[in-house]
Structure 1
Amino acid sequence: MSAPLRLMAVHAHPDDESSKGAATMARYVAEGVDVLVCTLTGGERGSVLNPKMDRPEILANMTDVRREEMERAREILGVSQRFLGFVDSGLPEDESEPLPEGCFAVQELHVAAAPLVAAVREFRPHVMLTYDDDGGYPHPDHIMTNRVSVEAFEAAGDPDRYPDAGEPWQPLKLYYHMGFSKERFEALHEAMNTRGMGSPYADWISRWEDRPQKWPVTTKVPCSGHFETRDRALLAHATQVDPDGFWFVCPRELQMEIWPTEDYHLARSLVDTDLPENDLFTGIDGARPQACVVTDASAQASPACP
């Protein structure tokens, strides 16, 4: 293709782009790919997770603070970014507790997806990244992010759907983030213990639900050379990321040695590709859309994926 390849990452809140797929995005930016992060909510109901930032003036201005943090992270990663205008749903302590009125997770699907469909048609990504249908973890905004991402992937190329959202454009591949796998944390755990560091992951691994991984990893993107950029982007979200906390307990050099990739599940593809992959754009250079391959067994038929 003569024009640059384009990658869209769809996330629920500011900071999600830095904790999921950040090194992948930084790698592709360095290779000349246009990368756009679409952030569906402003993170208004996020808690201050870094005790060093737990101050009244922060809590009183959470919306502005999180936008400022997002801007710093965006600059570090070298990506473009836009907020799509929905309000954070929060994470209820009790699943029976109703979600706040008007928040993102309670929107009807066509309402929640419309801004993303418009963004897809404007930016025209070849590849989209999002969460799996469990949201990566069961935050209502993450689950809704999966739903609207799948909807946008399948609807953006159909001129009869969302007719007011711009000229149709069909992305070619849709991936789910698979970075938080048991296999990855077991490998880091063993490596830290072998080197006498002690591992913080033992209790977490012991409580991991013993069942097959729902979405197998199909694609491992080598990007360890950009882990430092990922970490700086994470630290830009100072209200959400404690520099002395979970994200940094395993030395970066050990991560680069033991698990130098960020991992994905190919959920939709309109191009031929051989699995496993090591590049999100495998099969896309010079390609034209073909019959859609749906690797998500629960997917419903649609004009994009008949």
Structure 2
Amino acid sequence: MSSAPHEQLRLMAVHAHPDDESSKGAATTARYAAEGVDVLVVTCTGGERGDVLNPTFVVPEAHEFDTLEGKRALRRAEMEVAAEALGVRQTWLGFVDSGLPEGDPLPPLPEGCFALVPLEEAAAPLVELVRRFRPHVMTTYDPSGGYPHPDHIKCHEVAFEAFHAAGDASRYQVDGGAAPWQPLKLYYNHGFSMERMRAVHEAMQGAGLESPFGDWIESRTAREIPERTVTTKIECAKYFPQRDAALLAHASQIDPNGFFFAVPRDVEAEVWPWEEFELAESHVPTRTPEDDLFAGIRGTEAAR
């Protein structure tokens, strides 16, 4: 996965909320950043409606967490530390978190939230950002959002739209805007494939440890949830520490004694040293399975 010295490869990872960049493809972005790729994380919302998911969380001095503005400010501060841990750049699209509606029937989404913004209005700032940053590769969520959070689904729609529209000079025209740019590859993150969960689950059981995946595997099997195709595995165990540091930076969201840390890192590194992706679209020839998001780009005229 080395690149020629003259190449400046660029990767854009589009996420819904602060902390998503640290739980989905984080070790991969840390690896690429360490290897000289220009990595930009784009966060669509400020995470203003995220619940406190860490039972040990204490609001830091000089911050408050009772208003959308207070949550936004604190989660921005957390995001800054996480980006530094991963070694990536990060920017905000500036939309407001939609929250995760609960109940039957589901309540309406809050007025003005990200999920309710018309697609072209929501995609416009990302299209301009793509044209200015000029990524060779983009990553985001599959059409389901990975799980049915309205912001994750909207994030997919916005990133998908930007991938297709940024290279079209007739669309999203802005006075003084950047020139069109067509990203070459689009990937969807895959965090918890059944293959991965079974491998880790069996390793944990073999070591006499309690697995966090047992009930999950059984429920997914019982519901016959279809598996999306994994085309690309990035070896990145060396960067699990950076991923973990980024996760812990999101102290309001990540329980240090919770799910993300339930598997000993030596077990994980031995049986599953990869992060997985699905190649959704490519404008360059490539053969799957891949071990590099820039397969088909490195060493070609496309790496410009």
In structure 1, distance between residues paired with 2:43 and 2:10: 17
Q: Deviations over 1:210-248 (max 9, x none)?
A: 1431x2000000001001110010000000000000100
Question: What residue number does 2:139 align with?
Answer: 129
Q: Where do residues 87-126 of structure 1 align in structure 2 (5 Å cutoff)?
A: 87-94=96-103, 96-126=106-136
Match of 1:74 among 72, 77, 83: 83
Q: What is the deviation of 1:273?
A: 0.2
Q: What is the deviation of 1:183?
A: 1.7
Q: What is the deviation of 1:58?
A: 3.1
Task: Single out whichever of 261-270 and 156-165 deviates more from structure 2.
Answer: 156-165
Q: What is the deviation of 1:7?
A: 0.2
Partner amino acid for 1:200? P
Partner amino acid for 1:64? A
In structure 2, distance between residues paired with 1:287 and 1:268: 18
Paired residues of 1:135 and 1:145 also in contact (CA < 8 A):
yes
Q: What is the deviation of 1:288?
A: 5.3
Give the 3 Å change call, closer, same or farther, for CA 193–223 of structure 1 in structure 2.
Answer: same
What TM-score results when the alignment is normalised by the length of structure 2?
0.92
Q: Deviations over 1:240-298 (max 9, x none)?
A: 00000010010011110111000000001000001100000000024457xxxxxxxxx
Match of 1:277 among 290, 298, 302: 290
In structure 1, distance between residues paired with 2:190 and 2:233: 9
**Residue 11 (structure 2) pairs with residue 7 (structure 1):** yes
In structure 1, distance between residues paired with 2:148 and 2:72: 23
Q: What is the deviation of 1:64?
A: 0.8
Q: How many residues align?
A: 288
Q: What is the deviation of 1:202?
A: 1.3
Hey, which bits of structure 1, 4+ residues long, moved more than 4 A? none
Task: Single out whichever of 46-55 and 122-131 deviates more from structure 2.
Answer: 46-55
Q: What is the deviation of 1:3?
A: 3.9
Match of 2:66 among 59, 66, 70: 59
In structure 2, distance between residues paired with 1:32 and 1:288: 18
Give unmatched runs, 5+ long, in structure 1.
290-306
Q: What is the deviation of 1:54?
A: 5.7
Q: Where do residues 120-269 of structure 1 align in structure 2 (5 Å cutoff)?
A: 120-164=130-174, 165-208=177-220, 209-213=223-227, 215-269=228-282
In structure 2, distance between residues paired with 1:221 and 1:285: 15
In structure 1, distance between residues paired with 2:247 and 2:106: 32
In structure 2, distance between residues paired with 1:195 and 1:148: 43
Higher RCO (CA < 8 A, seq sep 6+) = 2
Q: Deviations over 1:43-66 (max 9, x none)?
A: 000000001116594334211110
Question: What residue number does 2:41 align with?
Answer: 37
In structure 1, distance between residues paired with 2:64 and 2:166: 41
* Paired-residue identity, %: 60
Give the 3 Å change call, closer, same or farther, for CA 252–168 of structure 1 in structure 2.
Answer: same
RMSD after superposition:
1.4
Paired residues of 1:271 and 1:288 also in contact (CA < 8 A):
no
Paired residues of 1:188 and 1:255 also in contact (CA < 8 A):
yes
Give unmatched runs, 5+ long, in structure 2.
none
Paired residues of 1:112 and 1:148 also in contact (CA < 8 A):
yes
Q: Deviations over 1:114-172 (max 9, x none)?
A: 01001100100000000000001110000000001110000000100101142100100
